[in-house]
Amino acid sequence: MSSTFLYGANVRANGIRQHYLRFGGKGRPLVLVPGITSPAVTWAFVAERLGRQFDTYVLDVRGRGLSETAPGMDYSLEACAADVGAFAQALGLADYFLVGHSMGARIGAIVAAHHAQGLARLVMVDPPVSGPGRRPYPARIDWYVDSIRLMREGADWEKLKPFSPTWTEAQLRLRAEWLHTCDEDAVVCAYHAFGTHDMHADLPAIAVPALLMVAGKGGVIEAADVDEIRSLMPGLEVRTVPTAGHMIPWDDEEGFFQGFGTFLGTPV
């Protein structure tokens, strides 16, 4: 099957240069927001498939990939959410779907609660449920910082094996190629925001239909967390990918796509 990739481009929105990759070009617009150390290109394999049915835009979150990075930049989750809202408006995306993974899911929840113009549906893929007074996010900050520093120094892809021992060589090579573009300050800020920003306070303000996708082996979201989130979002749909860890499409790509069901109007 031929590639659905169209092009990469930049747009100025919310006062910064935002870089994105576009796939498909037909159907409902879909904005894909990756996680804390995942530049847009590392989600291209997901966007390739989404691009078969949706006009898919994969965003480089500020401080990552080819989007703007600068000393002293505001890397808060709130700033990143404002970026996404402004990005959609700048490109004239109407009735768009937003799919966010991990940090991207946390950003997506803020978008849906506070920057929802044009947003039709939200998919939160295994968001960290940590926050004030809650158990911490299970991943350690040095896992991110140490791997970024290794790649910034030009280390070989094999140095990433201890960080992601189940990943294939191709997956590790791609991560090794792009990890150096993740600004350390941006990553540290986002990581700490997982514990200081109260996601649960945003959830009742989300009016669009929403889907929560849970990694069965991720250790990020537990059954009690699902119950609490459902109590705050009574119409929430929940699907679990039982065989996958937190990086769901890397662990079980087909299970990830099946996890959408028909929430986006058609199976993906």
Query: What is the helix (H) or strand (E) element at residue 145, kind and residue range?
Result: helix 141-152
4 class by beta-carbon count within 10 Å (0-12 exposed, 13-18 middle, 19+ buried): buried
Distances (CA, A) of 106 to 7, 178, 197: 27, 22, 9
Residue 248 tokens, joined:
């769901």
The pair phi, psi for residue 73, each rounded to 5°, is: -65, 145
Angle at 61 (CA atoms; ends 55, 62), nearest 5 degrees: 140
Whether 192 is a known active-site residue: answer: no
- What angle, 0 to 180 degrees and rounded to 10, lies between the N-to-C axes of helices 103-114 and 77-90? 70
Task: Determine which one of 158, 169, 222, 254 is catalytic.
Answer: 222
Whether 102 is a known active-site residue: answer: yes
Q: Are 105 and 84 in contact (CB under 8 A)?
A: no
Q: Are 190 and 103 in contact (CB under 8 A)?
A: yes
Count other C-beta atoms under 10 Å from residue 238's C-beta: 17
Task: Determine which one of 102, 115, 147, 200 is catalytic.
Answer: 102
Whether 246 is a known active-site residue: answer: yes
The residues annotated with a catalytic role in the active site are: 102, 222, 246
